[in-house]
Chains A and B, each alone.
Chain A
Amino acid sequence: SQTIHQWPATLVQPVGSPLSLECTVEGTSNPNLYWYRQAAGRGLQLLFYSVGIGQISSEVPQNLSASRPQDRQFILSSKKLLLSDSGFYLCAWSSTDNQPQHFGDGTRLSIL
């Protein structure tokens, strides 16, 4: 069966520090991969989308970037974190478009 791993579960970082969140999927090949952010009291906002290695689509221009160095690995990064980057970040995968997306357990990021 397919599983998705996301880490760390919680992270506290100072303003201006770099960020690297990692997500890996097991049990499938060539998945679509996604990064979302959930703000308090709001739905999930799509940040990045990838259909293959090295292929990244950005939905929201911001202080973050994403990379897909391997088929089942998706990384969310920032060179300098802002206070507004605080939130709950979720990684997800799907087998293709118009299929259910399956989520990791998320990372709670707090910026001080």
Chain B
Amino acid sequence: DQQVKQNSPSLSVQEGRISILNCDYTNSMFDYFLWYKKYPAEGPTFLISISSIKDKNEDGRFTVFLNKSAKHLSLHIVPSQPGDSAVYFCAAYNDYKLSFGAGTTVTVRA
């Protein structure tokens, strides 16, 4: 049962524009949400997180938004850069267990 869903398997964006990645979840017990970035043949790298008591967290070019009533979160990357081309995973915590989405592959075009 997939409790964290990333419905867009891929996203193509022009360099300098905004990338918006979306994630939906079903488990109302999730209380901490994270985004990871992954390059081929490497482990995921932690990008940014947000607690369920907040609705926005910003770190440089990355901003995560949380809409608890809709059980939806998104990651905004602005401006997008070529090095941002990677797979992005949404993840959510319930106690010790981190549940991951299937990932969205982002391609930044020059």
- By a CB distance below 8 angstroms, the chain A residues around B99 are 43, 46
The answer to whether B46 and A90 have CB atoms under 8 Å apart is no
Interface residues of B in 30-50 (CB under 8 A from A): 31-32, 34, 36, 41-46, 49
The answer to the question of A84 belonging to the interface, with a C-beta cut-off of 8 Å to chain B, is: no
Given A43-B102, A43-B103, A100-B34: A105 and B43 interface contact (C-beta under 8 Å): yes
The answer to whether A103 and B4 have CB atoms under 8 Å apart is no
- By a CB distance below 8 angstroms, the chain B residues around A103 are 36, 43-45
- Of A44, A100, A104, which is within 8 A of B49 by CB? A100
In chain B, what residue has the closest Cβ to A103?
Answer: B43
The answer to the question of A32 belonging to the interface, with a C-beta cut-off of 8 Å to chain B, is: yes
Given A59-B97, A97-B95: A106 and B102 interface contact (C-beta under 8 Å): no
The answer to whether A101 and B46 have CB atoms under 8 Å apart is yes
The answer to whether A105 and B4 have CB atoms under 8 Å apart is no
Task: Quote the shortest CB–CB distance from B1 to chain A (angstroms).
Answer: 12
Interface residues of B (CB under 8 A from A): 2, 4, 9, 31-32, 34, 36, 41-46, 49, 89, 91, 93, 95-103
**Complex A-B: 6 CB contacts under 8 Å:** A41-B102, A43-B89, A43-B101, A44-B91, A57-B96, A97-B93
